[in-house]
Structure 1
C-alpha cells in the first residue's frame, strides 16, 4: 500500500472538495488499473430517486477489476445493510449494540426539553461532567461539552430546545481510528481550537488573526459561538481579555477541524488496544467493512463516541500535523486485493475520466419496427377520474367486481398488510394487490424466479431461450459457459428476480459487453440466455383462456423538424400523463438512453427531421417509457394456444401475462423464431385497458368473470341528496371518483348548499355509495343522506363532475 500520497496529489481541475472521498478513491482506483464509473444524475434517474433527494446520496461511483464490481457512496459500500446504517444513525441503538460486545460507550440518554417532566428529569438525573448535543446534527453544531455544574447546565439549556442527547463527558485524548475489514489502518488525534497570547491583542483579535491564516489554508474557521463563551467563562476570560505572551487559551471543548481545531496524524502504536477495539466493532457490524471510530483514550480504555459508516479521508490525506496517509489507495487495495499499479502517479484529469466514461458503457442496439402511426385511443369511461387513486390495477379489478354485482371489502390483516376481498353469492376470494389467493405462494415464487420459470416451461414442452442462472460475481463459471456457445451467438443478461425491464441488457455480441451487462444488472443472481431476434409481445390469459395482446416497443419519439429530442420527450410525457396507467411510465433520461443516443449519433439537443423516428432505449418495456400497441385482433391461433399452454403449465395460476418474442404474431408460429421468455403472475391488468395505441380491452371484467360467479347484475338507478358541509370543499369531485371506482354512471351537481347525485349501477355498488356519501371526504362534514329510487335515469350535470 502507498502511504505517501497527499490531498494535493488528488486535487485537480474540476475537483470538488465536497466530494474528496469519491474523487480521491476514484483516481486511486484509476491509477491501480481499475475501471471507474461515476454515477451522477442519469443514474439517480435510473433508480427513480427524486433529484431533490439525490444530494443525500452524495457521490455514487462504481469500481471494477473485471471480476468484482462494487458501488460506493463516498466511502460507504452499498452492500452495507439498511439495518446497519439505521442502527449507526441512531446514537442509542448504536451504543446498545456496541455495549453488547463489551465496548465502553458514553451511555447516551434522550431528553425532550419541550416536555416539562423530561426537562426536570434531566436536571435531577444529571451526572457531571456531561455533554449535551442535538439528536440530529453534524460538524459539532449545537454541541456543548464538559458541562460541570448545574448552573452551567441551566445556562446551556436556555440555548437548546426539542430533543437532545445527554451523555457522560470522558476526560482523555480524542482520536479517530480508521479501519478496513475490522483492522486499524490509520489514526488521527483531534485538538481543540486554541490561540497563543502575545500580551498585546485581545482574545477576539487573536481569533481573527488565526481565522485569517486558516482561511488561506481553506480550513474551517474558529466560531464565535455559545460553546466558545462557555469555555472562556471557565477560564475567567472574555473576548476583550488580553492573554499574556505565550499563554495558550483553549477556546472550546469541541475538538477537530469543524470547530477550528487541528488534526494530527499519529502512529497506531500510540493507541494500545485499538486492534482489539476495531475487531469488536466489526463483530457488532460484520457488513461494515469500512468505518471510522471516534474514541476517547482515558489511559485505561477506549470509550467510543460514534461510529462513522462513511468516513471522510481528507484528514488523513492532509493532516495539520504529522505525515499524511493515502487512505484512498489503502481503500482500493483492501477491496481489490492489491491490484497492480498500471499507471503513473501523476494526477489524472477528472474531466478526462468523465468524458471517457460517457463513451465507455456498452448497451445493445434495437432493430425493431417503427411505432405504427396511429393516434392514441383512450375509450375507458370516466378515465380522468381514475387518476391518483392508488393501485390502478387493483382499482379496475374492484370496479369490475362491483359491476358484476359482487361486494368488495378492503381491510388490514393481522400482520398489518392491506388486503381486499370480493364476495359473490356463495364465495369470497381474497386478493393481495391485484393477485388473487387462487394463485399459490409457491407459484408466485416460481414466476418471480426467471430461471425456475424457464425450467417449468421446458418441462411442459414450451420452447424458451437456452440459458443458465449464475451468481453475478462468478465470472469464471460465466466465462466458461459463454466461451462454449457457438460463435456469433448473442445473449441477454437479466436479474433473476427483476421486474419492469430494470437491469436487462439484450443483443450482447461480445465478452466485454457481457461483463458490462453484468455491471448494469446490479443483482447478485442473473440469468444469461440466448438472444432471440423478434418483437416483444405480452399476451394475457385467465383460466387457460387468451384474453388480449399488446405489442411492446421501446421508448421513442418522432421528429417534426422543429423540436429537439429533449423537447419531444417532454411533449410525449405530457400526453402520457393523461393516461391513468402510463402517467407513471414516463420516459426518463438515464445512462442507457445516453448510450443509445450516442450510438445513433444524436444528443438531447438534436432536432429530428419531420417524421424521423428515434428509439431511445433497447428494452421494450412500457414502465420505462415504452409504447403499448393493442394487437389482440391480429394474434394468430398458434400464439393464442401457446400463451394458454404457458399458463396451464402452472396448475394454480389464476391469470398471468405471457411474454413472447416473435417476428410476426399474426402468422403461424416459426419454432426457430419464437420463444416464451417470462410468465408474470402479478401482471399489469391496466396495460390492456389503457394502451398507447389501439382498442382498450376489458380484461379486468373477464378475469373477475372467471374467478367468481356473478351476483345480481341488474342495474338500478337512485337519487341521493346530501346535506351538511358539502359545498366548497371538493365533495363533488370526491363523490365522482367514488362513483367511477364503483363502476357507476353518475351525474352530480350543487343545489344551493346541498349536493344532488343521480347514479346507476348494481345494487351492492349503490349501497356502498350511500355508505361512502355519509362518510364523506377529508374536508367535508355530511350530516344527512336521503335516497330514493329513480324510474328514469338522467346523468344531470355530468359536466359538473369535473368541477372542483
Structure 2
C-alpha cells in the first residue's frame, strides 16, 4: 500500500474519521470526519491548499514570475514551447529559441518541463546535442520547458504547514558506490533491488537518457568497474523520487531559512508547501540562496524512509493535515 494511504488509514481513527480506499490501486480515498465533513484525497494531494494557489505552484513558469514579483531570489530562466503552442499563440519561443537562450546564459544550464513533478526529465545540459535530445523528449509529454541558469550549491527541501517546520533535508542525486569488482550496470541493478524492497516500485529507469549522458560526461559506460569506495553520480537533479538520497537537517536549519519558508508560503497562499532551494549551508545565516521551485503537494515517501524519527514526522504532518481538513480549509466549513 502507498505510504500516504497507509498513514491515513492508520491515523484517521485517532480523530474518529472514517476512510474508504479505492481497492485496486489504493492511491485515492474518501474521508468522513466526525462533524460530517467529507473530503477526497489522491496520492499526496489534499484540499488543504486553494485550487488557484496549487495551480500556480504546479506551473514552474507562473510560480517563478510571482516569486520574483514578491522579491525572492529565483533561478534566472525563460519558458519555451512546442511548435503547436507557438503556432496557436503566435509565439516565437520554440525549441531553437530555447537553445539560443541557453547559449546566452552559458553552459551548463538546467532544463525542465514546466508542469511535471518528481524531477521527471530535469537535466543539466552541457552542449547543443544534449539540449536537443532532452528538449525533444520533454516536448513529447509537456507543452513547454524552462531553461535556467545553473547555480552551484547544495539542494535542500523545506516542508512547512501552517507556519510550522515539519522537515528539512538535503537532497543528493542518484549515485552508486564502487566495490572494486562490480561494473556500473551491476551496481545500479543492486541499488534498484534495494529501492524495490523498500518502496515496492521501480525507481531507477535504466533507459533514462540523462544517465547515459552523465556517464558519457565522465567517460564511463555500463561495463566500467568502479574502484572501491568511489562515488559515481548518475543524475544531476537531486530528486529522491529519481533514486536520490537525503540527509536530515530539520533540527539544525537556521532561523533565517525558516522565516524565508514561512514568508513564501504566506505570499503564495499555501498552507502546506515544499520549498526547494539551493544554498551553500542551510545551518548558517542566509547570505546566499536561490529558489528552485515551490511544491503544493510535497511527496515525503523517501524522507520517511530515512529512519523512524523521519517516519514519525511524516505521520505527524498528515495528522495535522486531517485536523485542518476537518475544521475547514481556505475559508470552507
Which category of TM-score, normalised to the shorter sequence, fits these structures? Answer: 0.7 to 0.9
Matches of 2:158 and 2:242, distance apart in 1: 19
Match of 1:550 in 2: 169
Q: Which has the higher helix share?
A: 2
Q: Residues 398 and 658 (structure 1 numbering): CA distance in 2 closer, same or farther, change over 3 Å? A: farther
Give yes or no for contact 2:56–2:63 (8 Å, CA) kept in 1: yes
RMSD: 2.9
Matched positions, count = 308
Match of 2:91 in 1: none
Q: Residues 637 and 479 (structure 1 numbering): CA distance in 2 closer, same or farther, change over 3 Å? A: same
Match of 2:156 in 1: 537
Give yes or no for contact 2:28–2:40 (8 Å, CA) kept in 1: no
Match of 1:395 in 2: 6
**Deviation at residue 588 of structure 1 after TM alignment:** 2.6
Matches of 2:324 and 2:51, distance apart in 1: 24
Give yes or no for contact 1:408–1:421 (8 Å, CA) kept in 2: yes
**Deviation at residue 692 of structure 1 after TM alignment:** 7.8
Match of 1:442 in 2: 52
CA shift digits 1:102-133 (9 cap, x unpaired): xxxxxxxxxxxxxxxxxxxxxxxxxxxxxxxx
Match of 2:330 in 1: none
1:604 pairs with one of 208, 212, 222: 222
Q: Residues 609 and 438 (structure 1 numbering): CA distance in 2 closer, same or farther, change over 3 Å? A: closer
**2:117 partner SS:** coil
**Deviation at residue 524 of structure 1 after TM alignment:** 2.4
1:478 pairs with one of 98, 101, 107: 98
Q: Which runs of 5+ in 2 are unaligned?
A: 84-93, 327-333
Q: Residues 610 and 493 (structure 1 numbering): CA distance in 2 closer, same or farther, change over 3 Å? A: same
1:699 pairs with one of 306, 314, 321: 314
Moved more, 456-465 or 516-525: 516-525
**Deviation at residue 643 of structure 1 after TM alignment:** 1.9
TM-score, normalization by structure 1: 0.36
Matches within 5 A, 1:143-542: 389=1, 391-402=2-13, 404-410=14-20, 419-424=29-34, 426=35, 428=37, 430-433=39-42, 434-473=44-83, 474-475=94-95, 477-478=97-98, 481-482=101-102, 485=104, 488=106, 490-506=108-124, 508-511=125-128, 513-522=130-139, 523-542=142-161
**1:436 partner SS:** coil
Q: Residues 660 and 690 (structure 1 numbering): CA distance in 2 closer, same or farther, change over 3 Å? A: same
1:665 pairs with one of 270, 282, 287: 282
* Bigger Rg, which one: 1
2:297 pairs with one of 682, 689, 699: 682
**1:442 partner SS:** helix
**Deviation at residue 694 of structure 1 after TM alignment:** 8.3
Moved more, 681-690 or 494-503: 681-690
**Deviation at residue 558 of structure 1 after TM alignment:** 0.8
**Deviation at residue 704 of structure 1 after TM alignment:** 2.2
Give yes or no for contact 2:47–2:325 (8 Å, CA) kept in 1: no
Matches of 1:542 and 1:692, distance apart in 2: 21
Match of 1:559 in 2: 178
Matches of 1:598 and 1:477, distance apart in 2: 26
Q: Which runs of 5+ in 1 are unaligned?
A: 1-388, 712-804
1:576 correspondence with 2:191:
no
Q: Residues 632 and 407 (structure 1 numbering): CA distance in 2 closer, same or farther, change over 3 Å? A: same
**2:198 partner SS:** coil
Matches of 1:606 and 1:489, distance apart in 2: 27
Q: Residues 418 and 693 (structure 1 numbering): CA distance in 2 closer, same or farther, change over 3 Å? A: closer
1:619 correspondence with 2:237:
yes
Q: Which runs of 4+ in 1 moved over 4 A?
A: 479-483, 509-513, 692-695
Q: Which has the higher contact order (CA 8 A, sep 6+)?
A: 2
Match of 2:329 in 1: none
Matches within 5 A, 1:692-771: 695-705=310-320, 707-708=322-323
Q: Residues 571 and 464 (structure 1 numbering): CA distance in 2 closer, same or farther, change over 3 Å? A: same
Q: Residues 676 and 429 (structure 1 numbering): CA distance in 2 closer, same or farther, change over 3 Å? A: farther
